Amino acid sequence: MNVQGVVYKSFLESDIKSLSAELKVGLLATINDEGLPHLTLISTLQPSSPEQLVFGQFAEGLSKANITKNHKIGFLILTLDRNMWRGRANFIRTAKSGKEFDMFNNIPMFRYNAYFGIHTVYYMDLLEHYGKEPLPMGSIIQAALKTMVAKTFSSKKGTHEALNFWTRQLIGKLSNLKFLSYIDGNGYPVIVPVIQAQTLGNERIVFAASAYREELKAVPVNATVALFCMSFDMEDVLLRGRYEGIRGMGGIQCGIMSVNWVYSPMPPKPEQVYPETKIEAVTSF
């Protein structure tokens, strides 16, 4: 989505310098086999040239399988000075050697790591991005306070415990980052910050729509959306469910998401948390 009124077809040199920082938040939005949005934290995501992005793979995950089947991706990169770049791109190829492969493996995090390094580099052609966006902390803080007030005016009862105690705590912490993703009319995943989001009982997410209002109004009602939450202690969780749209709660306009799927992307074993998967006994050795 064009959030600034301007669309850029390439990165500026200043953009490339800022986005090449080792410490940053990189989010990759992909589309799974069912045509549903998926969000992944990719810390190595960055431009390699004005018209191309790359990231290095050191762990397995669903996003890598997704983009080899559906090449349309959305991205968000947030730097430590609270500036953000968003856009969309098309996956084109992978490589297991070359300039970017060497560059990633010479980063201290990977060069001096005895357990893993970058084994594959993924390349994406930039389609468009929307320039540097300062994170609007004033609006986000106000929206977070409104969300807390709105929660008191709605029933928290639910029929399913999709969100366990740990997940509710992670999402409930105001300093943790939260992002919403959906598939737009062109078939590309879009990422919208919803840092103000909170849990409402054990199966719904609520967020005041005063921050990023126009972008949240563009999310189709009843669309399947994904919500990614992360802390700076390397904890994260991915939710998916139905977007109920924006409605009034105690006079406050809020977006609401009904959760029907929860996934833990954290090592050592990323896995589905809800609905619970059946554990099969090992019968052959």
∠ CA 230-27-45 to the nearest 5 degrees?
125
Same domain, 157 and 250: yes
The SS3 assignment for 165 reads helix
Same domain, 127 and 145: no
Same domain, 193 and 258: yes
Amino acid at 82: R
- The residue among 82, 105, 133 that closes a domain is 133
- The residue among 133, 157, 175 that closes a domain is 133
> Looking at the domain assignment, is residue 284 inside a domain?
no
Same domain, 119 and 186: no
> Looking at the domain assignment, is residue 279 inside a domain?
no
Range of the domain at 91: 13-133
Structure token digits, residue 261? 């799927």
> Of the candidates 196, 178, 161, which has an alpha carbon nearest to the alpha carbon of residue 236?
178
Same domain, 61 and 110: yes
> Looking at the domain assignment, is residue 115 inside a domain?
yes
Same domain, 78 and 175: no
Q: Which pTM was predicted? A: 0.92
Total of domains in the chain = 2
> Looking at the domain assignment, is residue 1 inside a domain?
no
C-alpha–C-alpha distance, residues 214 and 234, integer Å: 31
**Alpha helix (H) ranges present in the chain?**
13-19, 62-69, 99-105, 108-111, 137-151, 165-172, 213-217
> Looking at the domain assignment, is residue 277 inside a domain?
no
Amino acid at 278: K
**Integer angstrom CA distances of residue 66 from 29, 32, 40, 166:** 10, 5, 11, 27
- The residue among 133, 154, 182 that closes a domain is 133
C-alpha–C-alpha distance, residues 191 and 121, integer Å: 23
- What is the predicted pLDDT for the residue at 114? 46
> Of the candidates 1, 96, 87, which has an alpha carbon nearest to the alpha carbon of residue 46?
87
- Going residue by residue through the chain (285 aa), what tens digit of pLDDT does each one get? 445 578 999 999 999 999 999 899 999 999 999 999 999 999 899 999 999 999 988 777 789 999 999 999 999 999 999 999 999 999 999 999 999 888 888 887 665 554 567 889 899 999 999 999 999 999 999 999 999 999 998 876 667 789 999 999 999 999 999 999 999 999 999 999 999 999 999 999 999 999 999 999 999 999 999 999 999 888 999 999 999 999 999 999 999 999 999 999 887 778 899 998 766 666 666
Residue with the two structure tokens 């999402």? 171
- What is the predicted pLDDT for the residue at 159? 74
CATH number at residue 125: 2.30.110.10
- What is the predicted pLDDT for the residue at 279? 63
